[in-house]
Amino acid sequence: MTRSLAVVAAAAALAAPAAASAASLTVSPQKRCYSSGESVNLLGTGFSPLGSSTITRDDGAPVGSLPNDANGAFNGELKLGQNRGKRTTTYTATDDASSTLTASAQITVSAVRVVLTPTNGAPGRLMTIAASGFATGPTLWAHVRRGKSKRTVRIGSLKGACGGLKTRRRLLPRNAALGVHTIQFDTFRRYKPKRPVRYRYTIAVTRG
């Protein structure tokens, strides 16, 4: 699922105009897998100078249109989204002035997900953490917040192109305060509440 496509102000390239057969579409940064919520740049070359190009998905759905610069190049920012699982989508750029000028690129996107078990028990219990879709790795962190209380837990190293792991950790101390604790999982040691790639849980601590 594609969420948005926007023009990037900076020029994509300053190369000489390319022939029709040399039209290309590349993705930056290049990765085997991306997390839902990440943004990438679609870089096109070899299209009509000062024209425009339309981006479509392999299911025929239009993504948007981008202006070509004087060298027939464009640079567009694409925000990636995937609700569940993993999917590889082919994006195709077609020159609006000449439909024979086309180029394609594939992007694999994984949904971001964390499953905690058991869901009930003492605050300091060991929990099994199964995470997937954290392609912004290499390490998964848990940021526990309740009021002024702050706690950061290193969960572990992520594996595979799409960033997954399964391990056991204590997320809350045995003497955790009563109330609702918010836990944000992301791949940064420093906490920021609006990371583009994150997964959140709330755990309520009550009297037994």
Residue 14 has pLDDT above 60, yes or no: no
Question: For residue 128, what pLDDT is reported?
Answer: 98
The whole-angstrom separation of Cα 43 and Cα 26 is 5
Question: For residue 98, what pLDDT is reported?
Answer: 93
Q: Architecture of 113-205 per CATH? A: Sandwich (2.60)
HEC string of the chain? CEEEEEECCCCCCCCCCCCHHHCEEEEECCCCCEECCCEEEEEEECCCCCCEEEEEECCCCEEEEEECCCCCCEEEEEEECCCCCEEEEEEEEEECCCCCCEEEEEEEEECCEEEEECCCCCCCCCEEEEEECCCCCCEEEEEEEECCEEEEEEEEECECCCCEEEEEECCCCCCCCCEEEEEEEECCCCCCCCCCCCEEEEEEECCC
2-110 matches 113-205 in fold: yes
Tokens describing residue 84: 């569940």
Domain range list for the chain: 2-110, 113-205
Residue 164 has pLDDT above 60, yes or no: yes
* Mean of pLDDT over the chain: 90
Residue type, 36: S
100-114 pLDDT tens trace: 999 999 999 999 999
113-162 pLDDT tens trace: 999 999 888 899 999 999 999 999 999 999 999 988 899 999 999 999 99
Task: Please state, for a pLDDT cut of 90, what percent of the chain lies above it.
Answer: 81
- The domain 2-110 is classified under which CATH number: 3.30.365.10, 1.10.287.3510, 2.60.40.1930, 2.70.170.10? 2.60.40.1930
Query: Of 16 and 190, which is predicted with more confidence?
Result: 190
For residue 118, whether the previous peptide bond is cis, meaning omega lies within 30 degrees of 0, is: yes
Question: For residue 172, what pLDDT is reported?
Answer: 94
Residues paired with residue 129 on neighbouring β-strands, in sequence order: 116, 167
List of residues 6+ apart from 119 with CB closer than 8 A:
none
Question: For residue 89, what pLDDT is reported?
Answer: 97
Residue 2 has pLDDT above 80, yes or no: no
Residue 88 has pLDDT above 80, yes or no: yes
Residue 4 has pLDDT above 70, yes or no: no
